[in-house]
Amino acid sequence: MFPVESKPNFKFSVKMLTQEDTPITPVSSFSSSHSSPEEGHSVLHIVGKTPLQGHVTVSGAKNSALVLMAGSLLCSGVCRFSNVPSLVDVDRMGEILAALGVKVTKDGKILQLDASHLTESKAPYELVSQLRASFFVTGPLLARLGVARVPLPGGCSIGDRPVDLHVKGLQALGAEVQIEHGMVNAYIKGSRKRLQGARIYLDFPSVGATENIMMAATLAEGETIIENAAQEPEVVDLANFCRSMGAKIQGAGTNRIVIEGVPELHETEYMVVPDRIEAGTFLLAGAITKSEISLSPVVPDHLTAAIAKLKEIGVGVAIDAPDRIRVIPAYEYRGADIETLPFPGFPTDLQAPFMSLLTLADGDSVISETLFENRLQHVAELNRMGADIRVKGNIAIVRGVPKLTGAPVMATDLRASAALVIAGLAADGLTVVKGLHHLDRGYDNLEAKLRGLGANIKRVQEDEAAIESVTVVG
Ligand code: UD1
């Protein structure tokens, strides 16, 4: 139905499955043009205090794109996505889907996934271990094939990140789930072909568990109700996508989602929602550099908590059009307290970059990270840049300082890397940000977009960086 576009970004090859894998059919395997972490020896050079101006285009949401890609497994046809961000994580999810038999074609922001003929129910460990979101394939595979074998994704630098709520939800839908040798083996019990609708209460409104269960329930027999569901915009985007394939879902965006299962889903075209975290990061970039910049497309309602906190510290935010906002800086900012919470609370994914702004506010701020147990690793790096932050457990106490000074710093996770870039934009002199494989996972061309706004930022090879920093410091 959809024309297969040229695919400049990806290399394709054909792999024969081993005997263990059934059935024996060729599948496309898929690898990206992004550099792997091992190859990633580039660093960012940022010369701070350069004012920004102009407009920036916000990309499609990483966290939507990844789960929509997994959701395409529900459809025995072609799903064509537009506004797909260019990210290492998207490439990796494409590789995982290709390993399951999905035909993956990407051309710029258009991604076409043809899951007509799935050839495999087992996701490969090497790929899953690099991308936690790959666990999203469990629900769709189980619903579509009656079996899913997905390695436990394991923890990551921000915390343990268990999947018990995903597993309990799938069990409630009638799946037998065994976890052995690091592998989640799930299958539909007895002679039934479909999962069974159920009433599921989530102990915590986990985004991933809500999404996995919702996807599985679209093809179940009967009605599923998810109570205490996550209300994040990406959950709503997933529900809208599933609806565009013929799923019957109501209540997404509230804490009670009702899904009436259907026997099958059909082909669709779908546009990924704008990335609220990227948008928030640019609002912070404008605020910290005291620059007026505008952004679109955005959904202002997705940014309510971040905008409220910006206003509380003295930053103006104007909504110029339904999909366009502008940050209006002030001469100085006040400290404020932040607690990360499930949506519509303040997003944990903006905690680190917001902290960078608060380091330069007048007075103290208390930041409580309630979602992930190890998500304050950027503190030590911000302190290397002259910030005054102390950590007690999951709380960071930020005492505002008059200035930050550029320094070599190491990104420890995705949002920490954005925090260091934001800090570097406002610091005196040169900041060198290392560990860019984190940034490339989740920000679509951040430095090019910032350069477009006038920032003095460039990516250089690490050895070149060493020579340059000697020149600058000396
Ligand atoms: C998603 C986002 C991530 C964001 C997070 C919270 C994607 C790809 N990632 O992650 O960027 O920071 O939401 O907004 O969409 N938990 C359990 N058991 C489970 C599942 C979760 O205890 O089975 C806990 C987690 O350890 C964590 C909390 O619940 O402490 C929130 O996690 P969750 O909402 O599931 O986040 P993710 O879906 O992993």
List the one residue out of 113, 97, 60 whose CA is nearest residue 82.
60
Nearest CA to ligand 1 atom 15: 63
pLDDT at 22 over 50: no
Nearest CA to ligand 1 atom 28: 371
Instruction: Enter the CATH code of domain 276-473.
Output: 3.65.10.10
Burial of residue 318 (CB within 10 Å: 0-12, 13-18, 19+) is exposed
- Mean pLDDT confidence for 73-78: 96
Prediction pTM value: 0.90
d(C-alpha 410, C-alpha 398), whole Å: 20
Per-residue confidence band for 466, with pLDDT thresholds at 50, 70 and 90: low
Tokens matching residue 349: 């994914």
- Mean pLDDT (the chain) is 89
Digit-coded pLDDT (tens) for 153-191: 855 676 677 899 999 999 999 999 999 988 999 999 888
Q: How far is CA 150 from the centre of its chain?
A: 20
Nearest atom, ligand 1, residue 165 CA: 23
Q: Indicate the fold that domain 11-33+60-271 takes in CATH.
A: UDP-n-acetylglucosamine1-carboxyvinyl-transferase; Chain (3.65.10)
Digit-coded pLDDT (tens) for 198-214: 999 999 999 999 999 99
353 in Cβ contact with 282 (< 8 Å): no
d(C-alpha 276, C-alpha 274), whole Å: 6
How many angstroms is it from 400 CA to the middle of ligand 1? Answer: 30
pLDDT at 33 over 60: no
**Cα atoms in the Cβ-side hemisphere of radius 13 Å centred on 380:** 6
Domain ranges of the chain: 11-33+60-271, 276-473
Residues noted as catalytic:
156
Whether the domain at 11-33+60-271 and the domain at 276-473 fall into the same CATH topology: yes
Digit-coded pLDDT (tens) for 262-300: 999 999 999 999 999 999 999 999 999 999 999 999 999
Q: Give residues (CB < 6 A) around ligand 1.
A: 63, 66, 133, 159, 161-166, 204, 206-209, 230, 234, 348-349, 371-372
Nearest CA to ligand 1 atom 21: 206
